[in-house]
Amino acid sequence: MTAARKRTRSADETRALIVNEATTLFATRGYERTSLNAIAKSIGISAPALYYHFDSKDEILFASLEATLLDLCAMSTEAVAATDGSPAACLRAFVRAHVFHDVGNVDIMPMLNAGLYNVDNLIEGLPTTKRRRLTVLQREFLDRLRDILRAGQEKKSFRVDDITATAFAIIGIVDFAVYWFRAEGKLTVEQLADQYGDLALRMAGVQT
């Protein structure tokens, strides 16, 4: 009997695989030291075939950063939507989702954070429209948190002197966790999410 033919990947599947593999290579080898040939080889396609999906390495970087922000926004939105709607529950859910997203991808998030915050000037080569797209997604995530803090302030559930400063502080503690958290350490991701959820509530003036 003839062996069943291996299913051919769709263009969308191949594109997603390219982005995933490239992100891992960027994180482990460094963006500058990762060639398009290395990305193509890692998923078993030729370099010319890779150009069918992306015109340049910068395009792959943009796709990686955009996908990261879209996932983060989706996870936080879904987590908040699953609560009872109270400000405290929404804040805790938002922070927990952020922890699970970032610390759950601790091997690649330092590189992605460097790109998103332009620490290593990774995105300077991107067209203005693409840099603006990343900024819009970052702002959406920040605004979602500010809306939660504002709702808590209006309902007298939170005591926040400056909503924007508090929002950046909360986001910052989670972003920084990827630089020290280790899966083999004493804390699990779940425990860290719980601790940071409580910390965010205290930052908002809630006794936990």
* pLDDT for residue 114: 79
Kindly list the domain boundaries of the chain, sorted by start residue.
Answer: 9-55, 57-203
Output the pLDDT for position 120: 59
Q: What is the pLDDT of residues 138-173, one digit of tens each?
A: 999 999 999 999 999 999 999 999 999 999 999 999
CATH node for 57-203: 1.10.357.10
**Angle CA 120–127–143, to nearest 5:** 75
Q: What is the mean pLDDT of residues 122-150?
A: 92
Q: Where are the alpha helices (DSSP H) in 5-127?
A: 11-29, 36-42, 47-51, 57-81, 87-103, 109-116
Looking at residue 5, its pLDDT comes to 46
Q: What is the CATH number of domain 9-55?
A: 1.10.10.60
The arithmetic mean of pLDDT across residues 94-111, rounded, is 92
pTM summary value: 0.87
What mean pLDDT, rounded, does the chain reach? Answer: 90
Question: 93, 82 in Cβ contact below 8 A?
Answer: yes
Task: Tell me the mean pLDDT in the region 95-102.
Answer: 97
Residue type, position 102, single letter = D
Pairwise pLDDT comparison (2 vs 198), residue with the higher score: 198
More confident residue, 117 or 97: 97
